[in-house]
Amino acid sequence: MEDRPKILVVEDDDQVRSFLGAVLDKKGYQYRLASNAKEATEHLKNDFIDLVLCDIMMPDESGLHLCKKIRAERPEIAVLMVTALDDPKTINDAIKAGADGYVTKPIEQESLMSQITTAIYRRRHDLVTSRYKEELEREVAKKTKALKKAIKKLVVEKMEHREKVKMLYSLFNTVHAGIVLVDAETHRVVEINDYGCNIIGLPRQKILGKICHEIMCPAEGGKCPVKDMKQKNVRIVNDERTILTAQGDQIPVLKSIEPISLGGKLHYLSSFVDLRERKEFEKEIAKKQHEIETILDSVPAMIFYKDKNNRIVLANKTFSDITGFSKKDIEGKDCRELWPDQADDYWRDDKEVISTGRPKRNIIEKLETSRGTRWIKTDKVPYRNADGTIIGVIGFALDITELKEAEVALKESEERFRAISESAQDAIVMINEKGMVSFWNRAAETVFGYSKQEAMGRDLHELIAPKRYLEKYKKTFRIFRETGKGIAVNKILELDAKRKDGTEFPVELSLSAIQIKGKWHAVGIIRDITERKLMVKALKESEEQFRIAIENSNDGITLLREDKHFYVNKKFLEILGYSSPDELVGKSMADILHPDDRDRVYKFNKARHEGRSVPNRYEARLLRKDGSYVHVEISATLTSFKNKPIILANMRDITERKRAEEALKRSEEKYSLVVENAKEGIMVAQDGKFKFVNPAACHITGYTEEELLSMPWVKFVHPEDRKMVIRHHNNRLSGRKVPKSYLMRIIDKHGQVRWVENDGVVIQWEGKPATLNFLSDVTERKLAEDEFRKAHAELEHLIASLSSILIELSPEGQIKRWNRVAEKVLNISEAEVLGKRLEELPISWDWEKVAEGITRCNEVKEPIRLQDVPFTRRDGTRGFLGIGLTPKLDEERQVKGVILMASDITERRSLETQLLQAQKLESVGQLAAGIAHEINTPTQFVGDNIQFLQEAFKDLNQLLYVFISII
């Protein structure tokens, strides 16, 4: 690997000097540190320095003075000025002093590295070019002068003796330039030296006497430069032309022609210098330029350069691909021709950068393309010429359309879930992989007595679990943390919980497991079932209550003996569409089971008879009388009647719930179903009117949807409550404290006064603040919902780095280039990989996909894009890469290697995963809200707990016997 350039840092500020030294050391540069111009001068005398990084403002000798001294004494050294004053005058002074660029404080490392590389390359290139040109011109002038002197001396002086002629011809032939003497009248070659003969490839005898333009001037297109000089008085001085050789080759030369008089006759003295070496040098420069353009075209970001007339001078391939225009259609065009609607906004930013000389970053704007409207994030910096004059703007833009769409989707998802969560009355709790509380809704505060501030970050088991459960919880939680599985996961359990005051009470727990960033978290929906337990206790005390509960249960109940119905209640008949028990009693359970569900249900029944474990609840499909199928949730228990085993089965119609669950998977349709079927009135109020009302709101008020949407919302509020309601509404919109819920009176369409409980939140509706209000009619029933806020994992904002991985491969597949981003992302140094093949590297990634892309790229000779390539770093962490493969082609379109550009898209994939988890939580919240509405009357608890009958009665036989006799 080449020695890195040596940098001299001249800075009087100790902190800045140390910081720059640390940055250069980290990047592998050799460096020296000086605190003033005097120390810097000593370093320059005693050491070889490639670049000086110098502060402008120093106490003794200023940086500008030191820069002028360096430029005068050591022009080969590049100079970058460091200043805290980002103003045009300071920058102009630095450029006039001879600086190759400037760096503003605070210093950005990436920008500093880029400017160091550019300054050193530019200084070396300019120095080599300047020296070569000066040497060439001096050589031509020197040789021409010597030639003229020699020829004049040769022609003017008399040929007194052979030795003198021999000496002159020797001088004539030793000049390192071709010299040809042409008769102005005949255009024939009179004399030519040895160098000219060697260039043409013919001996002097075969050249002398020939017409000059026929034998050695093919580039003149049949025109003779000698004739042009004679007739048009045209002078040819250091003009690039070609010389024809005997082999038919055309050699580039630098030619000059001077008229001279010999013996009173006009001749032309033509001299020329071989330019092949210089042409090869220029060709090499052109090759390097082609490589740079290839790299720019490989960058997966839009790069462009615009001049001060708003014309696009240069654009890379990504710019062309995203906009849908070819480079030919873009370059040289005014932005107003391409994007007439947005051009003024683009130009406003460009003019600001040009006028101030300061970059403008993170410009978020729209771009109309052939694929529709795209969102881009653009950085614009001033482009300066060698004199430091700003001549345009360089832009670097990323297509962030997908990111914008993901952010909008996430925001809409959060708003929907937040609105729905207001109607939940069950405690919603979430714990992280350590068992600590990460979400605690308001219902949880009510149920357990702990505020959110008290609960967050504490161990959930120690917070709400009785001590007798703790040891078992800790053992099972270790398994859950590793696998996401446990005895309570995806089940509904009844157990005891503990409040803040230490009292225990029964709860129903529904637990789900979710993964966030590869770690298992748990979400629990907890319902206080104290009242339900009390009702079960009451059922134990009265057979009559039991009979009434069975007959009036909202769940279908059947007693099965040997797989045949011998009792069904009214709800069971209603679920299946039958009018009389006689239509079902005596028939087999198989007759009403869906064919796909029969084996599973029979396996459960068999296991239940054999005393093996069976799920407390499971779902099945039953055949209705009309031939349709209904979804039910079955809860069954094994008991005995007249010393014979029977199965007591509860069937709850969950058809609507299943439909809701299916609908929840389809975004807006799912949410609409929940809202349209909610029992609470849901209203969105904005600017004094309703913007949205659901059917329940219409039912409560007696008005139609059209009437509510067209009337001021205050109209249906009772006159005595209007002042209070308006105050609460305005306070809620302005963010001031408002009661979570409050009672108010309304007057319905029929003039009746109704009491409602209003519970509301502020939301964004069509880009403006509005209130989302939940109205529960408490005139006829008890309010049964509390709000909860959404639990979700912390989402990291995806700010992708503009830097990308760059790997250059030779035609044989060996690594020629490995940039610092590759070192950082893949954790492999450049020294470890140079000369090796990609498949030999210690990278765990989808090599087959990458190899196939490289092969394809070599075959089609066009860029190839690879999306979502997984990889694992040396430290075991995993990620994803977006890879672009671009063939490196020579002038004959032969593949000379492949350039691999890759961006680490792990964060974007993480954001998509977290969005999916947030949507899952949204579905859980909506489902919880729907389930909460099912509990409206005490008798509904009977169906949920019929399995407790076996435990409640030590001997159920007599009870069932009495019950059957009553029937």
Give pLDDT, residue 336.
86
Contact yes or no for 876/885 (Cβ under 8 A): no
Classified by CATH at the fold level, domain 805-904 comes out as Beta-Lactamase (3.30.450)
pLDDT category at 109 given cuts 50, 70, 90 is confident
Cross-strand bridge partners of residue 510: 492, 525
**Amino acid occupying residue 517:** K
- Which stretch of 63-72, 232-241, 544-553, 888-897 has the lowest confidence by average pLDDT? 544-553
Three-state SS for 253-300 is: EEEEEEEEEECCEEEEEEEEEECHHHHHHHHHHHHHHHHHHHHHHHCC
Contact yes or no for 44/8 (Cβ under 8 A): yes
* Dihedral over Cα of 312, 314, 320, 326: its sign: positive
Structure tokens at 808: 């250059």
DSSP-derived letter for residue 594 is -
The residue ranges of DSSP E strands in 749-877, in sequence order, are 753-765, 768-777, 805-809, 815-818, 844-845, 864-872
Classified by CATH at the fold level, domain 408-520 comes out as Beta-Lactamase (3.30.450)
* H/E element, 168: helix 162-174
Tell me if 134-274 shares its fold with 534-660+940-966.
yes
Higher pLDDT, 293 or 915: 293
**Amino acid occupying residue 221:** G
Q: How many CB atoms lie within 10 A of CB 299?
A: 21
Percent of the chain topping pLDDT 90: 5
Kindly give, in sequence order, each residue whose CB lies less than 8 Å from that of residue 506, ignoring residues fewer than 6 positions away.
494, 495, 496, 497, 528, 529, 530, 532, 533
Distances (CA, A) of 61 to 21, 74, 225, 740: 22, 18, 58, 70
Is 450's pLDDT higher than 90?
yes
- What is the domain class of 681-777 according to CATH? alpha beta
Q: How confident is the model over 55-92, as pLDDT tens digits?
A: 888 888 888 898 999 888 888 898 998 887 777 888 88
Give pLDDT, residue 669.
57
Structure tokens at 349: 């930013």
Cross-strand bridge partners of residue 429: 440, 524
Mean pLDDT confidence for 738-748: 86
Contact yes or no for 17/45 (Cβ under 8 A): no
Structure tokens at 154: 């040769």
Structure tokens at 730: 């305005």
- How far apart (Å, rounded) are the C-alpha atoms in residues 485 and 482? 8
- How far apart (Å, rounded) are the C-alpha atoms in residues 493 and 487? 10
List strands edge to edge, sheet with 30-34.
30-34, 6-10, 51-55, 78-83, 101-104
Mean pLDDT confidence for 713-728: 89
Is 325's pLDDT higher than 70?
yes
Contact yes or no for 136/144 (Cβ under 8 A): no
- How far apart (Å, rounded) are the C-alpha atoms in residues 343 and 326? 18
Q: How confident is the model over 932-964, as pLDDT tens digits?
A: 444 443 334 334 443 433 443 334 344 333 333
Kindly give, in sequence order, each residue whose CB lies less than 8 Å from that of residue 958, ignoring residues fewer than 6 positions away.
none
- How far apart (Å, rounded) are the C-alpha atoms in residues 302 and 802? 11
**Amino acid occupying residue 326:** S
- Which stretch of 77-81, 178-182, 819-823, 941-945 has the lowest confidence by average pLDDT? 941-945
- How far apart (Å, rounded) are the C-alpha atoms in residues 102 and 357? 12
Residue with the two structure tokens 């390359």: 121
Q: How confident is the model over 776-816, as pLDDT tens digits?
A: 888 765 444 333 333 333 333 332 343 678 888 888 888 88
Residue range 281-399, CATH number: 3.30.450.20
Structure tokens at 375: 């969102």
Classified by CATH at the fold level, domain 6-107 comes out as Rossmann fold (3.40.50)
Mean pLDDT confidence for 546-562: 77
Kindly give, in sequence order, each residue whose CB lies less than 8 Å from that of residue 588, ignoring residues fewer than 6 positions away.
563, 564
Give pLDDT, residue 277.
81
- The pair phi, psi for residue 918, each rounded to 5°, is -65, -40
- How far apart (Å, rounded) are the C-alpha atoms in residues 180 and 172? 10
- How far apart (Å, rounded) are the C-alpha atoms in residues 707 and 702? 10
Contact yes or no for 898/889 (Cβ under 8 A): no
Contact yes or no for 60/36 (Cβ under 8 A): yes
pLDDT category at 497 given cuts 50, 70, 90 is very high
Contact yes or no for 43/32 (Cβ under 8 A): yes
Give pLDDT, residue 536.
67
Q: How confident is the model over 369-390, as pLDDT tens digits?
A: 877 888 888 898 998 887 888 9
- The pair phi, psi for residue 421, each rounded to 5°, is -65, -20
Residue with the two structure tokens 């403008």: 360
Q: How confident is the model over 683-706, as pLDDT tens digits?
A: 899 988 888 888 888 988 889 989
Q: How confident is the model over 258-270, as pLDDT tens digits?
A: 888 887 888 888 8
- How far apart (Å, rounded) are the C-alpha atoms in residues 784 and 719? 27
Contact yes or no for 838/815 (Cβ under 8 A): yes
Give pLDDT, residue 820.
84
Residue range 534-660+940-966, CATH number: 3.30.450.20
Q: How confident is the model over 583-638, as pLDDT tens digits?
A: 888 888 888 889 998 888 888 888 888 888 888 788 889 999 898 898 988 888 88
pLDDT category at 931 given cuts 50, 70, 90 is very low
Give pLDDT, residue 3.
65
Q: How many CB atoms lie within 10 A of CB 119?
A: 23
How do the domains of the chain map onto residue ranges? 6-107, 134-274, 281-399, 408-520, 534-660+940-966, 681-777, 805-904
Number of alpha carbons in the 13 Å side-chain half-sphere of residue 94: 29
- How far apart (Å, rounded) are the C-alpha atoms in residues 311 and 334? 4
Residue range 134-274, CATH number: 3.30.450.20
